[in-house]
Amino acid sequence: MTTNNNGTLIESKLPEVKTTIFSTMSALAQSYQAINLGQGFPDFDCNPALIEQVHQAMLAGHNQYPPMPGAAILRHAIASKVETLYQATYDADTEVTVTAGATQAIMTTILACVRTGDEVIVIEPAYDSYLPTIQLAGGIPVLVSMRLDQHGFSIDWDAVASKISSKTRLILINSPHNPTGMSLTNKDLENLAALVRDTKILLISDEVYEHMVFDGKSHLSLASHAELAQRSFIISSFGKTYHVTGWKIGYVLAPKVLSAEFRKVHQFNVFTVNTPMQIGIAHFMQEPAHHLNLPMFYQNKRDYFCAGLAKTKFKLLPVSGTYFLCADYSEISDRTELDFATWLTKEIGVATIPLSAFYRDQNQHQLVRFCFAKQTKTLDYALERLQKI
């Protein structure tokens, strides 16, 4: 129980929540002038053509409220992209909704679906907004840990099956996966389909890194699996795709009946999203190379950074997607992950994120997460410091 300046007692709905690890490590990096490879944002600019498209939209007078589900031109562009990439048809008018980023999309979906006492299966390590959002909706997070072996992280579907009950309302999936860099396979989709078949369980598929899948592989969206798509809210992010995380624009795909419920909450959650940026993005999307070239763009950064880390005492885990990679520091230190990440920031001058921050119980694997969505010179500065350890 806390007291504000007016003497009113406030009982926190999220008593265990503190400042996020991302803000904490970024502030620490700034204090110690460390290179920030922790928080997941690029340190390079977006394509100037995207800025120009937004500018032109502003000059053309697109500065008032757009329709609640999003500007029609953008919803149609999204539907077209999804059909081309995943051979999945979504009605732009009733099944595509533009959101104020993916985090808002996740919260709105959970608020629309979860009632008090409903259970939501979350696979750990997990992005930090998932659990608080479930709690705010009155739901109960049910956690399943990934397997970790010499091949990296993978989902233990038998463990997921063991957690399904009559109270299970949602299963939350994330691929490509933050923080592990794992991507779902066809076998994973079939396992998931078998688990939810003949149930009323809904799915949230967090696919914000959909355009960052490497080594010639394709992203397996739940949209591409007709059976799963019928019960799924599929979420993506223009911020991640176009290097504009501060714009906070994403979208949700869902069948008409699910989208209708999503929009009921969305209209009172944010109502709608920045108009000129929606128009600008819609025009920018007309050139598919802007997202089709992204896998190789980030694969080159991954390979460059991995080659540099190979000259250190870190042991790298496989990374098939996202712009993150996890590294084992057990040959360097026996500190806890948070202590090691703090030491690395203060003493070595490179900020990372401890993997334990993605577990409710702060599970320890002696792993930290690096973000390689950085300029080559930034990666070089970081590698120079890491190679001296």
Distance, in Å, from the CA atom of 312 to the CA atom of 309, rounded to the nearest integer, reads 5
Domains of the chain with CATH codes: 9-39+293-386 (3.90.1150.10), 48-288 (3.40.640.10)
Distance, in Å, from the CA atom of 182 to the CA atom of 300, rounded to the nearest integer, reads 17
Q: Which of 364, 309, 313, 371 has its CA nearest to residue 335? A: 364
Sign of CA dihedral 331, 334, 338, 344: negative
Distance, in Å, from the CA atom of 323 to the CA atom of 300, rounded to the nearest integer, reads 11
- What pLDDT tens digit does each residue of the chain (389 aa) get? 455 555 568 889 999 888 888 889 999 999 999 999 998 899 999 999 999 999 999 999 999 999 999 999 999 999 999 999 999 999 999 999 999 999 999 999 999 999 999 999 999 999 999 999 999 999 999 999 999 998 899 999 999 999 999 999 999 999 999 999 999 999 999 999 999 999 999 999 999 999 999 999 999 999 999 999 999 999 999 999 999 999 999 999 999 999 999 999 999 999 999 999 999 999 999 999 999 999 999 999 999 999 999 999 999 999 999 999 999 999 999 999 999 999 999 999 999 999 999 999 999 999 999 999 999 999 999 999 999 99
Beta bridge partners of 40: none
- Report residue 362 as tokens: 């702060």
Helix (H) or strand (E) holding 328: strand 324-328
Q: What are φ and ψ of residue 327, in 5° steps?
A: -135, 135
Which residues have a Cβ under 8 Å from the Cβ of 262 and sit 6 or more positions away? 97, 108, 109, 112, 233, 252, 254
Q: Which residues of 20-51 are buried (b: 16+ CB within 10 A; e: fewer)?
A: ebbebbbebbeeeebbbbbbbbbeeebeeebe
pTM confidence score? 0.95
Q: What are the angstrom distances between the C-alpha of 360 and each of 14, 17, 103, 265, 363?
A: 13, 11, 18, 27, 8
